[in-house]
């Protein structure tokens, strides 16, 4: 059995009196793609933000390679280098070129040489079909292109696990496919990923395991995504999937 890379044990998370997770548990094996789906407000994005220390937690443990992800500790900067995150809003610096956006963290945070980091960045840009746009600024790119750049930026940090938060939510429908194709290629190459998405066809195609959550709890979990989408075991999951039009 593959090594467990990420462990979430008895996670507790609340915003004031509003409890998101009371006792949430999760294991992600190295090389596994876990897709988290569920209705709006169920805690999907909050989960990802807890996993990389962007949100404080009120209890439980989050362990990567057996080491705790602690938001308050000085070690969080080192841990975040192992946990890549791609947001739906791209988070690119508008005043920097595409190449400068990608190189900023490898050079400033990881202290890598510009020559080595730039060679890797260009190889990744070539992989996603955007090498010729390296000197452009974010405003010159489409939404799909900016999202592909955000993925390249995360990959340049050599993360052990990649968190993807509704990365197609802000895109026009015709731009969605180009981004999803990049993520599918990462999955085929063995990347470890936790993906939050509302694209059900994509979830079915890419997932090794599906988590359907609601009210901060796992309602249904399946290591057979095709069976889950064909005939979910719970009435709640059936009702949720019924609201989507997917083939």
For the chain, the maximum distance between any two Cα atoms, rounded to a whole number of angstroms, is 55
Mean pLDDT of 10-25: 96
* Structure confidence at residue 98 as a pLDDT band (50, 70, 90): very high
In the three-class reduction of DSSP (H, G, I as helix; E, B as strand; rest coil), residue 161 is classed as strand
Residues counted in the chain: 247
151-210 confidence digits (pLDDT tens): 999 999 999 999 999 998 878 887 888 899 999 999 999 999 999 999 998 899 999 999
- Report how far residue 147's alpha carbon sits from residue 244's, in angstroms, rounded to the nearest whole number: 24
The model carries a pTM of: 0.93
Mean pLDDT of 219-224: 96
Judge whether residue 1 has pLDDT over 70: no
123-144 confidence digits (pLDDT tens): 999 999 999 999 999 999 999 9
Specify the residue for token string 């946990």. Answer: 83
Judge whether residue 247 has pLDDT over 70: no
- Residues 6 or more apart from 19 whose CB is under 8 A from it? 12, 13, 216
Mean pLDDT of 14-21: 95
- Report how far residue 21's alpha carbon sits from residue 84's, in angstroms, rounded to the nearest whole number: 22
Q: What is the pLDDT of residue 244?
A: 78
- Report how far residue 163's alpha carbon sits from residue 88's, in angstroms, rounded to the nearest whole number: 11
Q: What is the pLDDT of residue 115?
A: 96
38-76 confidence digits (pLDDT tens): 999 899 999 999 999 899 999 999 999 999 987 666 677
């Amino acid at each position: 059995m593959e090594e467990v890379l990420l462990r979430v044990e008895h996670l507790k998370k609340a915003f004031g009196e509003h409890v998101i997770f009371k006792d949430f548990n999760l294991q992600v094996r190295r090389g596994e793609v876990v897709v988290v789906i569920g209705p709006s407000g169920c805690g999907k994005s909050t989960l990802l933000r807890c996993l990389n220390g962007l949100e404080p937690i009120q209890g439980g443990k989050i362990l990567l390679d057996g080491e705790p992800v602690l938001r308050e500790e000085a070690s969080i900067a080192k841990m975040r280098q192992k946990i890549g995150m791609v947001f739906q809003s791209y988070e690119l610096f508008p005043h920097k070129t595409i190449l400068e956006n990608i190189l900023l963290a490898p050079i400033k945070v990881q202290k890598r040489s510009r020559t080595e980091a730039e060679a890797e960045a260009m190889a990744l840009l070539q992989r996603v079909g955007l090498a010729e746009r390296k000197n452009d600024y974010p405003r010159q790119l489409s939404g799909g292109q900016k999202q592909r750049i955000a993925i390249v930026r995360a990959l340049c940090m050599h993360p052990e696990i990649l968190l993807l938060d509704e990365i197609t939510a802000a895109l026009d429908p015709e731009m969605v496919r180009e981004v999803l194709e990049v993520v599918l290629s990462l999955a085929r190459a063995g990347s470890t990923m936790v993906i939050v998405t509302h694209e059900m066809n994509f979830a079915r195609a890419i997932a090794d395991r599906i988590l359907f959550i609601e009210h901060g709890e796992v309602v249904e979990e399946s290591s057979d995504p095709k069976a889950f989408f064909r005939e979910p075991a719970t009435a709640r999951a059936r009702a949720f999937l019924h609201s989507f039009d997917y083939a």
